[in-house]
A and B are shown apart, each in its own frame.
Chain A
């Protein structure tokens, strides 16, 4: 089971770029890296998923180095509405490996 480690919390000012790094030293060959966002009183919402190098969508970018032992979620120019908990998951979802969300990173965006 690939375990992930994230910072418990981060603060950022509005308009800044935020990078949240997740460590997953035991990632397996078939594992993908997935990030979810959770607002208070809501269920998590999928943000982005990747296997290697860089993935970008309309919301975020995901950077994965060659050894894949870590990944960085990058949120460009954050706003107050980006205040949420961000979860990093690693697994191939053929078993229960991708179903452990951990405690996530609580991002607080400051005006």
Chain B
């Protein structure tokens, strides 16, 4: 079946503009995660959603970052007033659930964001 998809694959924006990144998880997966990865660095957790529960926003770096997940499926990560330090690859992942043992996370190809 289809994997996790993300759009756009690449986004170049000017400093101060808002951007929206989209993630389509695997059908039936109740958990959805956002990470970002700067060049040559590891993954930085941003936020995750589990079913209809309130999201865990503990990883969001500032109040310029927000995310929604509509109908328990598609998710949008919004970055307002983008800064150059926001430049990174934004990765989305989904999993069957969020329980012990840990469910395997399936990652999308990512969105490469460049803020000029």
Interface stretch, picked from B14-22, B61-69, B91-99, is B91-99
Q: How far is the CA of A104 from the CA of B41 in the complex (A)?
A: 9
Q: How far is the CA of A75 from the CA of B4 in the complex (A)?
A: 27
CB proximity of A9 to chain B, nearest CB, Å = 12
By beta carbon, the residue of chain A nearest B97 is A93
Encoded as 1 (CB less than 8 Å from any A CB) or 0, chain B from 93 to 114 comes to 1000011111111111110000
Number of residues from A at the complex interface, CB < 8 A: 28
CB atoms of B42 and A102 under 8 A apart: yes
CB atoms of A101 and B48 under 8 A apart: no
CB proximity of A62 to chain B, nearest CB, Å = 13
CB atoms of A42 and B100 under 8 A apart: no
Measured between beta carbons, the chain A residues less than 8 angstroms from B49 are none
CB proximity of B79 to chain A, nearest CB, Å = 19
Among B41, B56, B101, chain A packs the most CB atoms within 10 A around the CB of B101
CB atoms of A44 and B43 under 8 A apart: yes
CB atoms of B109 and A99 under 8 A apart: no
Partner of B109 from A30, A42, A51, A94 at Cβ < 8 Å:
A42
Number of residues from B at the complex interface, CB < 8 A: 26
CB atoms of A94 and B99 under 8 A apart: yes
Is residue B70 within 8 Å, beta carbon to beta carbon, of the partner chain?
Answer: no
By beta carbon, the residue of chain B nearest A51 is B101
CB proximity of A31 to chain B, nearest CB, Å = 9
Given contacts A32-B100, A49-B101, A96-B48, contact A101 B107 (CB under 8 A): no
Given contacts A32-B101, A51-B101, contact A87 B56 (CB under 8 A): no
CB proximity of A111 to chain B, nearest CB, Å = 24
B residues contacting A by CB (< 8 A) are: 4, 33, 35, 41-43, 45, 48, 56, 58-59, 91, 93, 98-110
